[in-house]
Amino acid sequence: MERALQGLKVLDLSMNLPGPYMTWLLASLGAEVLKVENPQGGDFGRSMGASPEAARLSFDSVNRNKKSLALNLKHVAGREIFLRMLDDYDVVVEGFRPGTMNKLGLGWPELSARQPRLIQVSISGYGQSGPYRLRAGHDVNYLALCGVLAMGGSREDELAIAGVQIADVAGGSLMALSGLMAAVVQRQRTGQGQLVDVAMFDGALSMATKLLARVQAGADEPAPRGMTLNGRYPCYNVYRTSDDGFMSLGALEPKFWQGFCQALERPDLEAGQFGGADVIDEVQAIFASRTCEQWEKFFKNHDVCCEPVLSLEEAVQRPLVAARGMLSKDDQGREFLNSPFKLSASPPLPEGPSPRLGQHSREVLLGLGMSPENIEKLVAEGTLGIGP
């Protein structure tokens, strides 16, 4: 079956989350993704976790349908092999700190001179330029510096860290995917590649574009529960139930708020959609009268945007997840989330296993025309790793 990105060949030097998540999505759409990893340990994600099993599961979740080449790019021979591969691979994804590729002798000027069609996607915390380009950081730091972290939490001056990595994935992985696709389309017209500079800070900040506009207009206060969409008003909030669960209410449009009040037979609340703490307290008292399950059943047939707050374990077992094809099991019975893409003419690939470190090294180098004797020599000198 034809796949959307069939024919796109990617050398993936990235590790941990932003790059591997992005290239997992590419692989699900049919791109050939080859992880280029250090023979000594490979992707740090292979070993990062509270336990070996946690590390394996975490790594496998974002590296399915890929191949692995264990190649030491610090060795001259490894660098030359990488450059030779640019004759066949037209995309490079890397997530090193800016300047690292240059130190390896594989900077953008060298790579683009070797392969003018090359598209290089460089994902970093603060971008390839600017005063923070060499500064270390993680998701929480990017969200802190772009003003997003300051908006989440309670009114009691308690900030909350989101359970998913917003800057890493939305600001990094998905922005990188969008930038790559734009560069691919342009290359089809011009035949020329380009460098795609993706900063997780930039991506996270850009998601606040409407919020900044509302703050400048005086409509929102950029603080916990100070904004329309983070709990300032009764109509868009979370409420505790009698069993210490929570219900999410998103009755933002007037019709949904009116429907909510009518379902509760509380027409007196209709004028309080954007009311203050007194209305929030009144709605909270209503939700506190029943369990989460009872409220879910109550609102099942009401068009009011009111749903239970589920744990991740509860969420993935819901019929909705199965109906959308978002969960699968591997041959060991482990559950993984599937690619979210739904393309009618070119559906994503079935989820396959992640590669063992260096599993495809021999296959790749034989494909380059290298002799078995030369391959064994590279293994002996530490340039190449051959996986089991």
> Which string of DSSP letters, residue by residue, matches 256-269?
HHHHHHHHTT-GGG
**Which pLDDT score is estimated for 153?**
87
The pLDDT assigned to 2 comes to: 87
What number is the average pLDDT over the span 141-150? 96
For residue range 179-209, what is the model confidence (pLDDT) as tens digits?
Answer: 999 999 999 999 999 999 999 999 999 999 9
- 243 is known as an active-site residue: no
CA distances 261 to 271, 283, 384, Å, are: 10, 10, 67
Domain residue limits, the chain: 9-206+340-385, 211-240+246-308
Measured in degrees and rounded to the nearest 5, phi and psi for residue 346 equal: -145, 70
Residue of 75, 88, 138, 302 marked active site: 138
Find the angle CA(385)-CA(176)-CA(84) to the nearest 5 degrees: 40
CATH superfamily assigned to domain 9-206+340-385 = Crotonobetainyl-coa:carnitine coa-transferase; domain 1 (3.40.50.10540)
Give the Å distances, CA to CA, from 292 to 30, 153, 242, 305, 384.
42, 22, 7, 15, 56
> Cβ(177)–Cβ(31) under 8 Å?
no
pLDDT at 1: 80
The reported pLDDT for the residue numbered 206 is 97
Q: Is 157 a residue whose pLDDT tops 80? A: no
Sheet holding 246-250, edge to edge: 236-240, 246-250, 306-308
pLDDT tens profile 69-79: 999 999 999 99
- Which residues make beta-bridge pairs with 120? 92, 195
Segment 90-111, tens digit of pLDDT:
999 999 999 999 999 999 999 9
Q: Which helix (H) or strand (E) holds 207?
A: none
Tally of residues, the chain: 388
Domain topology for 211-240+246-308: formyl-coa transferase, domain 3 (3.30.1540)
Which of 90, 139, 168, 197 is flagged as catalytic? 168
Per-residue pLDDT reduced to its tens digit, 233-271: 999 999 999 999 999 999 999 999 999 999 999 999 999
**Annotation says 88 is catalytic:** no
Looking at the predicted structure, is the pLDDT value of residue 145 above 80? yes
**E strand or H helix that includes residue 103:** helix 100-103
